[in-house]
Amino acid sequence: MQSKNSKTKEVLVCDTAQDWIDTLAQILETMGISADFIGPDMPACMKKVEETSYAIFVVNVQSLKKPKEFLREFHSRHPELSILVTGDRGATRLADYLWPPDIIAEYSFPNRTGRGAPDLGALIKRVLDFKSRMPDISVRFDPVVDTVLSLNSQSRSNPSQKRQDTSLIEIKNELRHILGKLFAGDTNSESIAREITVEPFEGAGKSSSVLLQITPTILLDKEKKMSAILKFGPRTDILQEASRYDKYVQWFLTVDQTVRKIGFAETQSYAAILYSFPRDKPDGIVSFSEYMRENDTDSILDIIRKMFNVDNQNWLSVDGNKLVDVEETFFQHYYLEKVIQSDIDEMRENHLGILKSQINKLEKSLKEDIVEFAGENVVIKPLSLSIPNPVTFLERPLAEQVKMTVIHGDLHAENILIDDDSGRYFFIDFFYTGIGDIYRDFIELEISTRYDLFSSRRLSDAKRLTAKDSQTTNMEGLKKLLRLEKSLIDVTIRDKDLKDPLILDDPDLCKAHKIISEIRKHAFMNYPDKKYLYCLGLSYSLLRGLKYFYPLDVKLYRLFTSGLYVRLCTDGTLG
């Protein structure tokens, strides 16, 4: 609760080391900061705060008998105070006291020595400057944001991340704190915005972080509102994306190809990057997945040509093979031995096992045999299709070196924004940007094209060719998709003409065929005569998709498509 007493000071310091107290008191007095000092006694601290209003509570956790209990109780009674924990370097894990899951401290300073006192004084001054401007900013959350933040928090499964138990209130407090840092202005000026509206960014890519649309009311003009994109999430993830943006995006992508980073802020647990909207306009911006569903084929192909034209590429022309040994790129490409082996082990022992269990459950429900795993082969009976088991084949080592270059790393259609007015494209989400297999971006885009045009929940039932859930199956739709894949192999790999009347007469199948063919054409233009490597990478990526929570039909589609391309790699077609 806020103190009702009229007395006001800026800082309350709780410590027992008199030499340290004397040093810090002199520094704060020199800086013009008013402070009181007290020993680590809970009743005395509470009484002091009831008598006097403070902005910051500085406490040495090593002076407390039960520091977490003390801080939790103190914070619950006085949440308006910023708590700054101190301790001798190396003697205390101060991170254990910071924000979630305990919500007891906002800042740490692990150097409580005479030499560290000036730095602590400077930190106190920065926090006071920041807090003096924060009350001017009102943050309004769209109700849907609560759902987005809650679902995102629940979806994280890494046990090393302590964010799993973070409540929605705590996450929103972190977000408010970050917005304050982004819009509070410098130390000598008032906040540049009085009101900030936070809304979900529709059609955004999915990851450990969330994309939000931020609309501040700028004080320079009370009527002026400009929107931006905020990527908000766990601090380590956002720091990585910020680093990769600075290292790769701003050097290898032009302004016309990407959103622009205009701000960065962090707390102890979370961080955010503020991106401008493409061409600084929030209206008329859609994801490429939505654009593909709603627009004609020629318009879509025109964007792909601009995206991958060899004459305007910077990133795909970089010789990354010289850098691969010194870059941390193990997650960036397909064929480093340790990674592919660990992925294959996981596919065989976990994801394929889950798929078999789902199939068995469906077969019992339908009283019909659907899939048989027979040694090194997989038989999908309703499709009369026998394919090599792609997991078995991908366990074999790859002898040929792939070409490495600068890649986006996660170029599915949700990570591409389209300006509907001009037809220009812009990349977002740079967490995986770095040095990687030159074919990866092409492969990720063509795989997401299949999902967006045939399996997305945003499609009508008439347009969707795979079942919406795992309790049933759409074999007629899968038969059409099998015809599509066989035709793509004939046209793009075997260089035959498109002749299948089913594809030619079906507008949706024909659209998908042309889009994927165009993507592959540019892949082979950028790195010719390596169709074997492309097919192998496609097989691998399709198989990796089995681990996601797709309906069974989507997984069957990925499995048999992966097997078709594995067969190409083994039957002599590709040399």
- What are the structural domains of the chain? 7-129 (3.40.50.2300), 137-280 (3.30.200), 285-570 (3.90.1200)
Q: Let me know: does 229 contact 211? Beta carbons within 8 Å.
A: yes
Distances (CA, A) of 19 to 15, 23, 107, 384: 10, 6, 23, 84
Is the C-alpha dihedral spanning 390, 391, 397, 400 positive or negative?
A: positive
Ordered mean pLDDT values, 10 residues apiece, the chain (575 residues): 58 86 89 89 86 87 81 79 76 58 60 71 81 71 86 54 53 83 66 81 65 76 70 91 89 76 85 80 79 94 86 67 54 42 60 76 78 85 89 65 80 89 84 85 94 92 91 92 96 93 96 97 86 87 79 91 89 66
What pLDDT sits at residue 272? 94
Is the C-alpha dihedral spanning 286, 288, 290, 295 positive or negative?
A: positive
- Which pair of structure tokens corresponds to residue 165? 């138990």
Could you give the angle at the alpha carbon of 299 between the alpha carbons of 293 and 300, nearest 5°?
55
What pLDDT sits at residue 522? 92
Is-cis flag, bond preceding 101, omega within 30?
yes
DSSP bridge pairs for 57: 12, 83
Question: How many residues in total does the chain contain?
Answer: 575
What pLDDT sits at residue 160? 39
Q: Cα(111)–Cα(60) distance, rounded to whole angstroms?
A: 10
DSSP bridge pairs for 436: 405
What pLDDT sits at residue 292? 95
What pLDDT sits at residue 337? 44
Which of 118, 453, 105 is CA-nearest to residue 293?
Answer: 453
What pLDDT sits at residue 347? 63
Contacts of 389 (CB under 8 A, 6+ apart): 373, 375, 376, 377, 378, 563
DSSP bridge pairs for 199: 213
